Each structure stands twice: as structure tokens, then as C-alpha cells.
Amino acid sequence: MAVDNDFLVRTLVERREVLRSIQNTIEPGSSLTELKLAYMAARDERERNWFGRLLALVAPGIPEYYSRYVALSAKVQGLAQLDFPVTNVFVTFETETDQRNVLRKLSVGSLKAYRNDHRALADPKFLFRGKHVLAVEEPDEPSAIRWQDLNAGTMQRVKEQCLTAFATLCAIVAGFFIVRIADGASAVAAAMTISVFNILFPTFAKMLTGLEAHAAEGDKQRSLYSKIALFRWVNTAGVM
């Protein structure tokens, strides 16, 4: 059963990344107890000079990582005390035949499940608790599910994808005019500009797609592919 605890999951992931950053900073095999981490953070901060404090603003060290780790640990403890409603239930089967049989008898379509249309089911005994039509569908593979975004609402996803699509269109329009200006100078300049944009835009597209909430990794990859394909088509073929 999956519960609506995406914020808690993201906080746990961030805390683990911070702890991994600390591990990469200290000597291999060093203890990572709370007392040892506090000691190393206090020691490093005391030994810093003015240049070290200035450098820490750009390249965080153990004191900064430890402060973030403590803050995230406190946030996790607070979130763990909240109640989270169940949002998704995943069922496993011994055989694929059983799975297909259940899907055939319980799958009714999202609209009918939303309306709780009892007539969509062939037999009333398939109603959950005798009155609910379940929204049953075959899920993605467990490794492909993005658990941090699993419970994002439809409106949130639409809003985020509209914003990233608008940013992509702005980048396409800007690239179009820049290539046109370069083409006015020389064909070589236009070709070099197109090549540079085709190299740089995928990184920008990954940043945009990272802002979107997708329930499955395949959805995220399709969104990324559509952005890159559209940009490169316009940038390479559309402007020439």
C-alpha cells in the first residue's frame, strides 16, 4: 500500500544524499554516529580561517552538511508523526493468468470508477465493501515507479507541465532568432550556433523535466524526449 507521504519520502531521500556527501568528504571507514558527526563538524568549523568560511559559501563542507542533516532529521521526525491516507494499492499475483483474470473483471475505466458507476461491473460482488467501484489498472514495473511523485494530483501535474512547456517554447523562439541572426552573418556561424544549441538544450530540458511530477519513469522520459525532439527539429530543420 502506498500512502500520501511524498513530502516525507523526498525529505528522507535528501537526508540520505546529505549523509552520502559527508561520507564522500571523510576518510573511508570512519564512524557516522551522531556524536562523531557533531565532533567533526565542530572541529572543522573552529579550524576555518576567513578564506575557509568564504569558500564554504560555494563549496559546503562537513559543518554545512551536518547542519542540513540535523534539520532534515528533525523534519523527518515531525512528518513521521502525521497520518497519511492510503492512495494506491499494489497487488501481486502468483501467475499472469490470475492477473489477467482480475484485470478483465475489475477494469472499468477511470471515468466510470470516478462516478462510482455500479453498472460498469458485471457482478455486484466485485464492488469494494459492497458500494465502491475500484479504479483498477495494470501498473508500471516497481523499478519504473517514481515513488516521490506517485501521489501528485492531476492539476499539479498539468500546471507543472504547462509551465515547462512554456519555458521550452520560449527557448525555441529565442534559439530561432539567434540562429537567424547568425545565419545573416555567415552559414558557418549559423551551423556552429545550431550545433551549440543542440548540445546545450538537453541539459536545460533535463532541468525542466526535473521540475515535473511523473508517476512513472517512462512518463518522465517521454516528456524529456518530446522537448528535445521539438527543439532540435525547429532548431535544425525549421529555421533553415
3-class secondary structure, 179: helix
Same domain, 154 and 131: no
Which comes out higher in pLDDT, residue 69 or 33?
Answer: 69
In a domain, 26, yes or no: yes
Same domain, 75 and 96: no
Which comes out higher in pLDDT, residue 193 or 235?
Answer: 193
Which comes out higher in pLDDT, residue 137 or 77?
Answer: 77
Positive/negative CA dihedral, 237, 223, 166, 158: positive
Domain extent for 100: 91-138
Q: Which of 57, 79, 101 is the last residue of a domain?
A: 79
Residue 240 half-sphere exposure, CB side, CA atoms within 13 Å? Answer: 12
Same domain, 38 and 12: yes
Give the pLDDT confidence score for residue 240 in this predicted structure. 56
Question: Which of 121, 140, 141 is closest to 131 using CA atoms?
Answer: 121
In a domain, 197, yes or no: yes
Burial of residue 227, with CB atoms counted within 10 A of its CB: 0-12 exposed, 13-18 middle, 19 or more buried: buried
Per-residue pLDDT, averaged over 97-114, amounts to: 86
In a domain, 58, yes or no: yes
> The whole model's pTM is what?
0.66
Q: Which of 79, 104, 120 is the last residue of a domain?
A: 79
Same domain, 100 and 166: no
What pLDDT band is residue 5 in, cutting at 50, 70 and 90?
confident
d(CA 205, CA 199): 11
In a domain, 196, yes or no: yes
Give the pLDDT confidence score for residue 238 in this predicted structure. 57
In a domain, 85, yes or no: no
For Cα atoms 205, 208, 210, give the angle at the middle one, nearest 5 degrees.
110
What pLDDT band is residue 106 in, cutting at 50, 70 and 90?
confident
Same domain, 164 and 129: no
Same domain, 168 and 190: yes
Whether the pLDDT of residue 108 is over 90: the answer is no
Mean pLDDT of the chain: 87
What pLDDT band is residue 76 in, cutting at 50, 70 and 90?
very high
Same domain, 117 and 161: no
Per-residue pLDDT, averaged over 26-47, amounts to: 86
Give the pLDDT confidence score for residue 33 in this predicted structure. 84
Q: Where are the alpha helices (DSSP H) in 26-56?
A: 34-47, 50-56
Same domain, 116 and 197: no
Same domain, 134 and 152: no
Return all residues near 198 (Cβ < 8 A) that are at least 6 apart: 232, 235, 236
Same domain, 127 and 153: no
Whether the pLDDT of residue 152 is over 90: the answer is no
Whether the pLDDT of residue 129 is over 70: the answer is yes
Same domain, 154 and 229: yes
Q: Are the beta carbons of 72 and 14 closer than 8 angstroms?
A: yes
Q: Which tens digits make up the pLDDT trace of 169-221?
A: 999 999 888 888 887 888 888 888 888 888 899 999 999 998 888 888 888 99
What pLDDT band is residue 56 in, cutting at 50, 70 and 90?
confident
- Cell numbers for 27, please give them: 576518510
Whether the pLDDT of residue 102 is over 70: the answer is yes
In a domain, 185, yes or no: yes
Q: Tally the domains of the chain.
A: 3
